[in-house]
Amino acid sequence: MRVDIISILPEIFASVLDASIIGRARSSGALEVVVHDLRMWTDDRHRTTDDQPFGGGPGMVMKAEPVYRALDAVCANGAQQPTVVLLTPQGVPLTQDLVRELSALPRLVLVCGRYEGFDDRILVRADLELSIGDYVLTGGELPALVLTDSVARLLPGVLGDEDSAFEESFSQGLLEYPQYTRPASFAGMDVPEVLLSGDHARIAAWRRREAVRRTAERRPDLIARADLTQDERVFARRIMEGSG
């Protein structure tokens, strides 16, 4: 997959894109990321990308012309028509289902906003407006990195076979079960005996139950859509009634 990122702060991206799994995905060729400085497509001496809002009001608005020119230039490169994603607080919330859909596309162009928002005439150039959640950031750059990270790990060959098999078969809409590593006793807390037993059936059953328990306790909103047996549903309900 190829991802183009358009931003007035291109220097934000390198450390995250060079590190760890994304860095490896890029080295292997599974992922290509190109970061573009929006100021390249300004035409005035001050390389202006924002201006005051018509009608008055606080803050500045991202000008349409530089973004249009940037999209004309960036979308012209390459064979496939990219999917243009605008990162805005008004966008549809990013979910793992959406991440999965986007990871199947050959090309994404991510446009990061700063200031109070985009001139509304930019929206017609986008296939999708995306938010990463209901909290206020200073711009779309971190959301663009979040999206790139979440998509990259689903590309073929990026995660190990074990991790991807896990992704496919497990979770089923539940939070993860508690995990432990050595030492078996630490700070007065012992690892649950079952995990030291070597009884793989008992371990699997314990993990499943703890995953259901945690989800019911912390994210009761996920229980309705989780893939549960009748017994698990009764168990979850009991926990949710207890604390809700």
Judged by the rule CB under 6 A, the positions of this chain that interact with ligand 9D3 are 87-89, 113, 116-117, 131-133, 135-140, 143
Listing DSSP states for 115-141 in one string gives TTEE-GGGGGG-SEEEES-SS--S-SH
Q: Which is nearer to ligand 9D3, 123 or 137 (CB)?
A: 137
User: Of 40 and 137, which has the nearer Cβ to ligand 9D3?
Assistant: 137
CB of 229 to ligand 9D3, least distance (A): 36
Three-state DSSP at 110 gives strand
Burial environment of residue 182 by CB neighbours within 10 A (0 to 12, 13 to 18, 19 or more):
exposed
∠ CA 116-66-9, nearest 5°, is: 60
DSSP state of 160: -
Q: Cβ closer to ligand 9D3: 54 or 135? A: 135
- Tokens describing residue 228: 């549960």
Alpha-carbon dihedral 92, 93, 95, 100, rounded to 10 degrees: 30
Decide if 98 contacts 127 (C-beta within 8 A): no
Nearer to ligand 9D3, 136 or 189 (CB): 136
Q: Which is nearer to ligand 9D3, 146 or 240 (CB)?
A: 146
Number of C-beta neighbours around residue 13 at 10 A: 18
* Residue placing its CB nearer to ligand 9D3 in the complex, 66 or 140: 140
Give the helix/strand (H/E) hosting 81: none
Integer Cα distance of 233 and 217 in angstroms: 13
**What's the min distance (Å) between Cβ of 25 and ligand 9D3?**
22
| Closer of 148 and 215 to ligand 9D3 (Cβ) | 148
Smallest gap from residue 85 Cβ to ligand 9D3 (A): 10
Q: CB within 8 A of 146, min separation 6: which ones?
A: 94, 132
